[in-house]
Every structure is written in structure tokens, then in C-alpha cells.
Amino acid sequence: MIRSDKPYKNRCLLYNQGLMPYSDAHEWQRSLLNQRIHDPRLEDVLILLEHPPVYTLGQGANSNFLKFEITNSQHDVRRVERGGEVTYHCPGQLVGYPILNLQRYHKDLHWYLRQLEEVLIRVLAIYGLQGERITGFTGVWLQGHKVAAIGIKVSRWITMHGFSLNVCPDMTGFERIIPCGISDKPVGSLAKWIPGLTCQEVRLVVAQSFAEVFAVELVES
């Protein structure tokens, strides 16, 4: 059980998963979302996991940001309903999928995006690193490198998709895309600043920061 240092308002179920295929996690999220649309009283959820290598494009994302042909590629590519452009997931990147009913918090999507950024900025601060926002963009940067991406979908104020934090991934997969459609800002991983850091270690820090920012009691499920 992880509690916020502030009085918590809601319980949130924490699912700490290992390596999960993107398609399985996507279907799981959609199921959780639909359950909560039909019964808004159900508790919120935070899923933390890693994915095998996969490229995802947000709804309406520009395929020109891929540096390979989708039809003639061996890469796993998925177009999904989140916002944002193309991104890359792989082992060593910690992915978080909050399924939250924003009616319990604040019915404002910009507020929600800034809260997710705040979670990740606090994670970096715990390791003595200064994460930053860049005006006009969504995500978190560290010394000019984007280390965390965010893309969400909200239906009837229930959220899905979420954030990814590059902890110690093989970064070569990012070379095949223009990450998030941003060509003039490089991506990076925390391992560049903290060699030996692992997703397993960072999970608890992310969970604690999430509990603090959203003032929830996280209950491992």
C-alpha cells in the first residue's frame, strides 16, 4: 500500500506487471475503461509495465515521422486512439497507464497532462535530476533530452493510455522514427545520467510520486 503524504481522497489499484505485449495491454485498458464508463463507481487503476519493441502512432499521427515503410517492415507498428505522434516502446522503458475518473479530480485535460508531467518531474528529482517542461510540448526533458513522453485518451472523463519513461532502454529503436514528431530535440534515457538504473528500481518511485501528485492511496492488486 502506498499513500500520499497529503490526505488521500481516493483509492487506486496498482498493477505492477512485467513485460507485456502491447496488444494485450491495450485490450486490458479498453476493458477497464468500458467497465468504468458503465459503472463510474469502480476504483481507479494504475498499470506499470514494460513492452516488447513496438511503435505506436496516435490517432491522426503523421506516418511520415516513420523512417521505414509500414507495409514492408518487420517492425511491430500500431495505430491507436491516444493523442500525439509516433513513439517507441521497448524493454527498459517504464510505461504507466492510469485509468482514472477525472470527475473525482479535475475535469480538465490540460490539468491532467500537467499532473502526469509533475509525477515524472518528481521522479527525476528523487534521483537528483532536474526535469523540465518545454512550452508548447507535452512531456519531460532532461538537459535538452526528452526522457518521458505522454499521450492520453479520455472518454466520458475516464482516462486511458498515459506516459512512458526511458529508464535504461536500447535507444537504437528511436533512430527509426522522429519521436513525437519533434525533429530538433533528441530523446534520452536516465541511464545516461545514472548508469545501472533499472525499471524495477524506478517502479516504486513512480508509484510513490503518482500517489503524492494525485493524492490517492495506491493498493497493490
Q: State the catalytic residues.
A: 180
155: left (phi over 0), alpha (psi -120 to 50) or beta: beta
**H-assigned helices in 7-46:** 22-38
Contact in structure between 209 and 4 (CB atoms under 8 Å): no
- The x, y and z cell numbers of residue 62, run together, are 503523421
DSSP labels for 131-161?
A: -B--TT--SEEETTEEEEEEEEEEETTEEEE
End-to-end CA distance of the chain: 10
Q: Which residues, other chains included, contact 145 with Cβ-Cβ below 8 Å and sequence gap of 6+?
A: 185, 186, 187, 188, 192
Q: What is the total residue count of the chain?
A: 221
Angle between helices 109-126 and 199-214 (to 10 degrees): 130
